[in-house]
Amino acid sequence: MKKLLTLLLAAALILSLTGLLTACDEGVSALSAKGRLRVATTTSLYDTGLWGYLEPKFEDKYDVELDVLYAGTGKALEWGTRGDVDAITVHDKARELTFVADGYGEQRVPFAYNYFLVVGPESDPAGIAGMSPEDAFKKLMSEGESNPDVKFVSRGDDSGTHSKEKSIWASAGYDYEDVRNSGGWYIEAGSGMGPTLVMADEKNAYTVSDMGTFLTYQSDLDLVPIVDEGDVLLNVYSVIVVKSTKYTEMANNLVEFLTSKEIQELIGDYGVDEYGLQLFTPCAGQDM
């Protein structure tokens, strides 16, 4: 009798586990039917609210859950290299081309651009207004080392903006390691664009910002654009499908979505009513 009871209990347990596994499989199947796509993006595309605006439109169109992970371009590329995401939207052309050439990504597809700005205190203690970015950085270096009122806050986070800053220092004739070790005037925030702008504002300092994030934060800051012209300030955003993704079709849908006529128009109009200026200019199909 005891043996029979044991067998019955074992059979019941097997049936219970079978039912549980079936339910789990059904849950996974239901999730798969809906689908998920992971995209790594820059803080500038996220902090401006652009992804918050576009995400539900993509989800509704393709019946998919879009997980938007935001960080600096360096981190986004790292996630792509490891296969942790299915697509990336970043703004560092040199590293994007390397990412593709090294076999981690499909084609680099530009979809929008704006410009970087050198922003700072309205009093402009370094006297760089009206200069080229390169000449402005030379003046910042000389004034920073001698004028206690001149400070510069760097992203210092391996982001696309940080890469742009380093490229301007290089164009101005400086080795970046010499700059970052040149004294207390040069401060590394190690954070996203929004927090870096806030820190620069608190310290009455200069910084490099993409135009979109600056316009988004401008009403809460005393900082103003000081240098806003120069070819080196061009800031192009691209989308790249990660080669290791299991969801190539859906990732390609994201590329098609961002470069479609409808979404390009929405990107161009985004923020205009609120800020009076385009935060982003659409550029699908252009070689940038």
Query: Tens of pLDDT along 175-215?
Result: 999 999 999 999 999 999 999 999 999 999 999 999 999 99
How far is it, in rounded angstroms, from Cα 209 to Cα 44? 9
Q: What is the pLDDT of residue 184?
A: 96
Q: What is the pLDDT of residue 26?
A: 35
Q: What is the pLDDT of residue 115?
A: 95
Tokens of 74: 């360096």
Name the class of domain 32-114+236-282: alpha beta
Task: Tell whether the model's pLDDT for residue 79 goes beyond 50.
Answer: yes
User: What is the arithmetic mean of pLDDT over 259-273?
Assistant: 96
Backbone φ, ψ for residue 138 (5° rounding): -60, -40
Percentage of residues in the chain having pLDDT higher than 90:
83
Residue pair 169/232 in contact (Cβ under 8 Å)? The answer is no
Provide the β-strand partners of residue 65.
Answer: 36
Average pLDDT over the chain reads: 89
- Contact partners, residue 104, CB within 8 Å, separation at least 6: 80, 81, 242, 243, 244
Q: What is the pLDDT of residue 34?
A: 53
Task: Tell whether the model's pLDDT for residue 5 goes beyond 60.
Answer: no
How far is it, in rounded angstroms, from Cα 250 to Cα 63? 10
How do the domains of the chain map onto residue ranges? 32-114+236-282, 115-233
Task: Tell whether the model's pLDDT for residue 4 goes beyond 70.
Answer: no
32-114+236-282 and 115-233, same CATH topology: yes
Residue pair 151/203 in contact (Cβ under 8 Å)? The answer is yes
Q: What is the pLDDT of residue 35?
A: 77
Q: Indicate the pTM of the whole model.
A: 0.82
Tell me the per-residue pLDDT of 27-65, one tens digit each, with 9 for 90 and over: 322 333 357 999 999 988 998 999 999 999 999 999 999
- Contact partners, residue 229, CB within 8 Å, separation at least 6: 132
Residue pair 232/137 in contact (Cβ under 8 Å)? The answer is no
Name the class of domain 115-233: alpha beta
C-alpha distance from residue 165 to each of 21, 134, 205, 244 (Å): 53, 10, 15, 31
Tell me the per-residue pLDDT of 95-127, one tens digit each, with 9 for 90 and over: 999 999 999 999 999 999 999 999 999 999 999
How far is it, in rounded angstroms, from Cα 225 to Cα 62? 40
Q: How many residues appear in the chain? A: 288
